[in-house]
Structure formats: C-alpha cells, structure tokens
C-alpha cells in the first residue's frame, strides 16, 4: 500500500473500514482493516467480477486471496441494468451453493455499482447473509454505492425496470477503493461519478465539510487528469460526507436525513425513466445516471429559486459544466416530467417530496413545492435550439 492511502472508519452498528488509494488491492485483505473478515486461510471466497474491468486488477485480487490460503471461485457478471436481476442473483447464489460456501465464507464484489449491488444482494441473502468485501471500480461506485450497505436488483415491468425494487441492507466488512483501477474507466463514466460529488458538495455543509464543492472545483484540473493524490482525496472526502449521512440514518428511517442524498434524483430518475437522450456533445444515447443527476441538480436549484428558498442555480450549473456534464437537454413537455416525478418511489401519497438547496452546502426536504416551481426548475435545463 502506498503512503497516499487513506483509511476511513465508518462507525455504523458494525464498524468497517473504507481503504482508499492507489494500489490498495495489494495487501488490502490483510492488516487491521481486514480484521472483520477473520482469517481467510482455508475459507472459500467467491469473487464476482465485473466483465468490464480489465483482467490485471482482477488478477491482483485473486492472487492476494490465494496467497492468504483462500480457495477462490470466480464468476463474471455483466454491468447492464437489465441484468441486475433476480435471475443473475440466482446464478451467483447457485455458484456459491455449488462451491459449498458456508456462513463463515466471503464474497468479494469487484466492479461498478451494478455488479456491487447485485453481488452484495447475493451476499445478503445467501444463508441469511455472509460477509462481503466491496471493491468498487467506477468513480460513482467509489464515492456513492460503496457507502451505506444498500444492495439491490431490479424487477422487469414490461419493457421497463422497477429499479432497486428488491434489495436488502447489508453492510460490507471492508471496502477497498483502489484508485488505480480508474485509469481504464471511460471519460464519460468518470464524469458521471463527478455528478454525485457535486451533489455531496451541495449538502456537505450540514455534515461538517462546508468547503467540499469549492475544493472539488479548485481541484478539477488534477481530478480530470486522474492524478492519484487528487482522486484519493476526492473519494475520501465524498465517502466521509456520505458516511456521516448514513451513520445518522443507517436504515433510512429518520424523516428526511438519508433522503438528503436524493438531491437531484427525483428530477434525474424522471429523465432516465422517460428515455431522455444525452446531447451529442456528451456522447449521445440515453442519459447515463450521473448525467441525469447533474441535470437534476440544476433543476432542483432552479426550483428552489422559484420557490424562494435559495439562489444557487448558476453556481450549480457552473460546477456541472466544469465537470463536463450536460447542463441542458431536449426534453418532453414539462407536465410529462412532472407526472414521471410523481411516480418516483420517494414520493408519498402522491405528494412530491423534493430535496432542495436551501443555502450554501445545505438542503431541505419539502413536500409543499408548487407545480409551477417544479416546472420552472425543469425549464432551466430545457435545450433552446
């Protein structure tokens, strides 16, 4: 492990470490952070590997586990939303059962958010739950999906997907965020992770890190150049903020606490659900999740302005633009988007619950935002051609 490594302890009911830095797979399964795993000698370990991750980092993990005396089984999973499914979970579970994994054995999820959610779900339900290690390999999964223990699969509904409909809370015993694996990530996927970082920057003031957005913007040249020290710091800061929110509301039961992390997502999910296309300059095709969230953050800020809560639209738009994320898209009619937002599972009794910026680094959850303010927010991201 290099001197750049940062180890963050997440103090949940069962505390565990998130180890961040370049090259942390090597040696990551031994030492103090790996203690909750117990000895791996003669343990069976199943590694669920994202098919999109190059073989070299996968082999580092496999070699580490074998050198500790574990008997290792690998299974590949493909990072496609329609394959974040019960069928794929069953395939993983069957491999675990065929390999006779026992309660004391371990699963390692090595991949982006899709493979992490799928493999984590298998770990949550196999023999009522076995320990697992999360090795997130996209920026988004490092700064977001690797914190909080949410595991899930989607449920098909005609041609659409009910996202994350089936799932469980199941905290990992260890997270290894190896910054080196980000070198193979496409620029587009990399920028998607930055959208969640901007989101964290807009709410981090309530969680003892008021300068996160400023720091991120200042550090963007080094971040976009994928400088290992800047990336380590970026991931560590974001994990700290998300970890603080999750710690305050581990199971998303306290009204409006963990819900803060939904900032930009009610708008974003509606855009994703309606199949809104990304601008050609971004790469075209359907919007990626991070792109939809980036647009959602601008729309939320604009709604907050319409509602008279705060005025940070241009600040948010500037941050989104400097990350290379879209600030405008061709949209369907505003009332269609509003209808899709009402269907978001976060709304209760048909009342739209929105997380809105209320001041620098602060957000509030409101269920009394008038339609006009929401439509005004949507208008702020509509492409004018």
Ligand X SMILES: NC(=O)c1ccc[n+]([C@@H]2O[C@H](COP(=O)([O-])OP(=O)(O)OC[C@H]3O[C@@H](n4cnc5c(N)ncnc54)[C@H](O)[C@@H]3O)[C@@H](O)[C@H]2O)c1
Question: What residue ranges bind ligand X (CB under 6 A)?
Answer: 50, 52-53, 79, 81, 84, 111-115, 117, 137-138, 140-141, 144-145, 148, 150, 164, 181, 184-185, 189, 192, 289
Q: How far is the CB of 246 from ligand X (least distance, A)?
A: 9
Whether 170 sits among the annotated catalytic residues: the reply is no
Q: How far is the CB of 4 from ligand X (least distance, A)?
A: 18
Whether 150 sits among the annotated catalytic residues: the reply is yes
Q: How far is the CB of 373 from ligand X (least distance, A)?
A: 27
User: Three-state secondary structure along 69-118?
Assistant: CCEEEEEEECCCHHHCEHHHHHHHHHHHHHCCCCCCCEEEEEECHHHHHH
DSSP assignment of 233-255: HHHHHHHHHHHHHHHHTTTS-ST
Residues 157 and 189: their CA atoms lie apart, in Å, by: 26
Strand partners, 340: none
Among the options 88, 163, 170, 196, which is catalytic? 196
Query: In 175-264, where does DSSP find H-type helix?
Result: 187-203, 212-224, 228-248
Whether 258 sits among the annotated catalytic residues: the reply is yes
Q: How far is the CB of 137 from ligand X (least distance, A)?
A: 4
Among the options 262, 272, 288, 353, which is catalytic? 262
Among the options 131, 170, 199, 258, which is catalytic? 258
Q: Cβ(122)–Cβ(146) under 8 Å?
A: no
Residue whose C-alpha is closest to residue 246's, from 18, 83, 5, 72: 18
- 52 or 206: whose CB is closer to ligand X? 52
- 289 or 353: whose CB is closer to ligand X? 289
Q: Cβ(277)–Cβ(312) under 8 Å?
A: no
Among the options 252, 328, 362, 379, which is catalytic? 252
Q: How far is the CB of 270 from ligand X (least distance, A)?
A: 15
21, two tokens: 């830095």
Whether 317 sits among the annotated catalytic residues: the reply is no
- 306 or 344: whose CB is closer to ligand X? 344
Query: Which residues are catalytically annotated?
Result: 128, 150, 196, 242, 252, 258, 262, 265, 269, 289
């Amino acid at each position: 492990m290099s001197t750049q490594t940062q180890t963050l302890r997440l103090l949940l009911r069962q505390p565990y470490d998130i180890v961040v830095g370049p090259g942390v797979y090597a040696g990551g399964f031994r030492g103090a952070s790996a203690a909750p795993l117990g000895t791996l000698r003669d343990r069976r370990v199943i590694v669920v590997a994202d098919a999109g991750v190059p073989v070299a980092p996968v082999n580092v993990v496999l070699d580490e586990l074998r050198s500790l005396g574990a008997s290792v089984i690998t299974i590949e999973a493909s990072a496609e939303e329609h394959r974040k499914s019960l069928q794929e979970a069953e395939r993983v579970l069957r491999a675990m059962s065929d390999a006779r994994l026992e309660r004391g054995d371990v699963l390692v999820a090595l991949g982006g958010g899709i493979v992490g959610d799928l493999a984590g779900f298998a770990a949550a339900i196999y023999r009522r739950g076995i320990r697992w290690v999360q090795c997130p390999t996209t920026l988004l999964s490092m700064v977001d999906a690797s914190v909080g223990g949410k595991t899930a699969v989607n449920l098909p509904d005609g041609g659409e997907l009910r996202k994350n409909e089936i799932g469980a809370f199941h905290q990992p015993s260890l997270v290894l965020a190896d910054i080196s694996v980000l070198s193979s990530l496409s620029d587009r996927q990399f920028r998607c992770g930055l959208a969640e970082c901007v989101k964290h920057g807009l709410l981090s003031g309530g969680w003892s890190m008021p300068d996160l957005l400023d720091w991120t913007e200042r550090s963007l040249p080094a971040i976009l150049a994928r400088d290992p020290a800047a990336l380590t710091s970026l991931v560590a800061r974001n994990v700290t903020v998300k970890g603080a929110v999750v710690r305050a509301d581990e199971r998303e039961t306290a009204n409006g606490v963990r819900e803060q992390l939904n900032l930009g997502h009610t708008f974003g999910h509606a855009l994703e659900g309606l199949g809104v296309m990304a601008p050609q300059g971004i790469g075209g095709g359907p919007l990626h999740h991070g792109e939809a969230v980036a647009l959602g953050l601008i729309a939320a800020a604009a709604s907050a302005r319409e509602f008279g809560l705060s005025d940070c639209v241009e600040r948010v738009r500037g941050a989104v633009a400097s990350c290379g994320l879209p600030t405008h898209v061709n949209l369907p009619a505003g009332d269609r988007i509003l209808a899709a937002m009402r269907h978001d599972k976060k709304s209760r009794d048909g009342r739209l619950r929105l997380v809105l910026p209320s001041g620098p680094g602060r957000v509030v959850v409101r269920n009394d935002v008038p339609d006009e303010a929401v439509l005004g927010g949507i208008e702020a991201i509509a492409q004018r051609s």
